[in-house]
Structure 1
């Protein structure tokens, strides 16, 4: 069986590129699994009859567990071997998918989603860490990371489309069973084409640090997601406080350990800290635009879920293309120049969304989303490469986990913060003067709620409520677009300044 520790730079062989294909498909399926469930929820509700809280846990528990365990699993892979952890995770993910597909109760499905989250947390940092050790030539490595990033972005976008097709032809469990063939191929070919890699002197694995990282991230992600869905309350405040306190304890502990789970000195390196921060903010913008964009296309413009998914495809394709093109551009310009320019393009794309109208077509949104997607795609490739290049190959798993955690937090906060901005404008601008208190409360809850209330009203009252809801929601989108554009522009300037002179791949 091939093995690899720290080796000098060498050109990748055919076996290495075949290994990349196997790793890329693993990432593709994990990304698909994060979004494929959305369209299946009505069918799951009809079959398993979960309560509203159980339904939320079916959706969210995967991301809670995934985010909470990324750092632990990244560090564990550095110690026991990234390929070994990858294969264990693939087997676990396959088993969890089978359990999920044939679940007969909400509790069984929730348990399966927990196991999927645990397994997914082993796969993501392991794949990026293995790419760092397999592709030691810097130009080949960034191309390999570009493929990895394209698969991650493409999978997330393909989820609803794949799910829609499967649900038209099969039962809801089929959205989980698509994982099985790829996981079987990964388990069969992984030992043959992926070399083992790990830290030869990893030090002691610190269980306390692992527990603290879990105690920090799970409550934080929970508080963020719940606040975005139901608003800020005492439970969310307590969860956030627990997460912050555990996070502070985690950081303090890392400073005292001889072999810390995360070497905090890495954040003193401009390339590493800027890359992590930029990764967080770029996916923050992308997730926020997707959140309100999907609602705009469906509930304001009246497209079906499948039509909305197709209208989002150009932005997804631009993200995939720029993930790959960025690997070539850094041969001409410095990473800071390419990354800063990509973020500036994303800022322009977000600014275009300020021109959206309730009575307009989808063209302007598509144009803006294409530019935002292009910037986010380039950012994912370049920030991932900067992160893993900042550490020795032996520590690539832990560094990858930091980047992946920033990515997951960016998604959660993008939806929470930008979603809150949109909904605050929506609730202030919605005219509910003609509704009774119960109807008004339902209409102000979400844009979908106002649509549901309008269906129960006489035609003229329904028309007035729909017009008010669409106008209020679009005004909220304008505010979120301004905020997104400002954040992307400021991040672009910070990248140009902090990465000035960084010519790693030029």
Structure 2
């Protein structure tokens, strides 16, 4: 009888574990809904901007703000919302953030002017900042086993990367058949599915013993990041001025105050001690700079394909598919790759492959270059995929489970700020070269083609010069980071991610 009881208990225990694992994987699929949307909306406008420009006629500065205010808002608030979710409930924050994201998407779709579109994009960014760190933290709770968690994080990173990579493709396909607002309305069905299933498949998770949220730290981190990025952006776009310098300096002062305050708090928003680990530091830098390169190259290449080469938006979108596929596949295989070649080799390869891919864009011109664009995205996609996966795994593996939200926020902040800075700084650099190369042209390529068709060739040559300047700077930067990683990272490697089983 005792044996029968043991068999009965064992059988139903196994069934219970199976149901638990099944629920966890379905929960992961639900979590990936907002993750995919947040990352996709960071890039979906790259091919849509020419159409939005025709509909709303934004100035050059407004066009950049439409693109990068989203990333600024996400990057400025990720740290704060990561800590808030840890303390007050990650699922609750996910639900609220998803609802606000849907509201922002609907408002952006029907924006009547550039200012309204910028405002709703900022609201979407605020909501996105609530979603990413909490999603990563909930994922960690769903998979307590380190091996399964490593696989789940790899899928999470792949979905995040796929959103960035596929965003321009989705935008191009939608714009082929529907008005420009469709690139925002596509978010609503996905948000509805998440809001319906999340309460069923996900549990509320709060972290005990983390103390109250330090409101001053939240204000300092968000305001400091926003002011610093804003000042840098305007200095790059319009040159040094009292306003841009004052904004950047004020942001730097607030961020310095924030860092010093964290050291004296019992429960800080950021554990700065993590940055004493060289591998962690290189990994976080690897989250920021590659995203800057990817966003800048994607944005400028999208304009080159449509406005310089004259390709239809759908054709331009399809050309992005090979690179998107490589990027996504690399996110999935990177954990196994790291097991074989080591973290140091993977980080070095990441930067050198991006440098090589960006350099291929130097072969583009006024009359051709679509093939070089595809080759560039494929080669650089290897490094981008490694970047996404390594940064996500490092953030979660480096801290205890109760700090998963805040640690994940560090990684996601580096991604989002990189995305915003890439467009702001490299877009501004390309615009500066455009103005210097063609001083008699209108401020932008689109305006020149519309009001002065006779100057089209000069305008296209000026734009290509700006594109080449931006990608050359980014390529050299990544080559330098590759050399730094090669020299700085130790050969006796420390564990960067949990060992994943097949």
TM-score (norm 2): 0.85
1:493 paired with 2:501, answer no
Structure 2 counterpart of 1:79, from 67, 82, 87: 87
SS in 2 for 1:259: coil
Q: Secondary structure at the match of 1:332?
A: helix
Unaligned runs of 5+ in 1: 1-9, 433-439
- Checking the alignment, whether the CA contact within 8 Å between 1:351 and 1:485 is kept in structure 2 is no
Q: 1:364 aligns with which of 360, 372, 378?
A: 372
Contact 1:358–1:474 (8 Å) recurs in 2 = no
Larger mean CA deviation between 50-59 and 280-289 belongs to 50-59
Match of 2:317 in 1: 309
Aligned pairs for 1:82-481 within 5 A: 82-103=90-111, 109-419=117-427, 422=430, 430=437, 440-442=439-441, 445-448=443-446, 451=449, 455-457=453-455, 463=457, 465=458, 468-469=461-462, 472-473=465-466, 475-476=468-469, 479-480=472-473
Q: Which moved more, 1:359-368 or 1:64-73?
A: 359-368
Q: Measured at CA, do residues 274 and 41 of structure 1 come closer, stay the same or move farther in structure 2, by a change above 3 Å?
A: closer
- Distance in 2, Cα, partners of 1:52 & 1:482: 25
The one-character-per-residue Cα deviations of 1:113-140 (angstroms, maximum 9, x if unpaired) are 3332221110011111222232233333
Query: Offset at 1:171?
Result: 4.1
CA pair 339-134 structure 1, distance change in 2 beyond 3 A: farther
Report deviation, 1:222. Answer: 2.1
Shift of 1:26: 1.4
Root mean square deviation, CA, Å: 3.2
- Residue 455 of structure 1 deviates from its aligned partner by 1.2
List per-residue Cα deviations over 1:402-444 (Å, max 9, x = no partner).
111111221233334444555565555x3x5xxxxxxx3435x
Shift of 1:348: 3.0
Partner of 1:5: none
Q: Distance in 1 between matches of 2:305 and 2:270?
A: 42
1:141 positional shift = 2.3
- Show structure 2 runs of 5+ residues with no match: 1-16
Distance (whole Å) between structure 2 residues aligned to residue 478 and residue 157 of structure 1: 18
1:4 matched residue in structure 2: none
On the 8 A contact 1:142/1:381 being kept in 2, the answer is no
On the 8 A contact 1:278/1:383 being kept in 2, the answer is yes
The whole-number CA distance in structure 2 between the counterparts of 1:291 and 1:113 is 17
State whether residues 43 and 295 of structure 2, in contact with CA within 8 Å, keep that contact through their aligned partners in structure 1. no
Query: How many Å separate the matches in 2 of 1:356 and 1:43?
Result: 23
Q: Distance in 2 between matches of 1:286 and 1:470?
A: 18
Secondary structure (helix, strand or coil) at the match of 2:275 reads helix
Alpha-carbon shift at residue 397 of structure 1 (Å): 0.6
Q: Distance in 2 between matches of 1:494 and 1:126?
A: 35
What is the alpha-carbon distance in structure 1 between the residues aligned to residue 93 and residue 213 of structure 2?
15
Counterparts in 2 of 1:48 and 1:423: CA distance versus 1, 3 Å = closer
The question of whether the paired residues in 1 share the 8 Å contact of 2:397 and 2:496 is answered with: no
Distance 2:465 2:496 in 1: 47
Q: For residues 307 and 491 of structure 1, do their structure 2 counterparts lie closer, same or farther at Cα, with a shift above 3 Å needed?
A: farther
Residues in 2 aligned to 1:477 and 1:41: alpha-carbon distance in whole angstroms: 19
Greater shift, 275-284 or 67-76, is seen at 275-284
CA distance in 2, matches of 1:496, 1:474: 32
More displaced stretch, 387-396 vs 137-146: 137-146
Q: Does 1:64 align with 2:72?
A: yes
State how far apart, in whole Å, the 1-side matches of 2:365 and 2:53 are: 34
Conserved? CA contact 1:426–1:475, under 8 Å: no
Distance in 2 separating the partners of 1:471 and 1:82: 46
> What is the CA–CA distance in structure 1 between the aligned matches of 2:257 and 2:480, rounded to whole Å?
29
Tell me if structure 2 keeps the 8 A contact 1:354–1:477: no
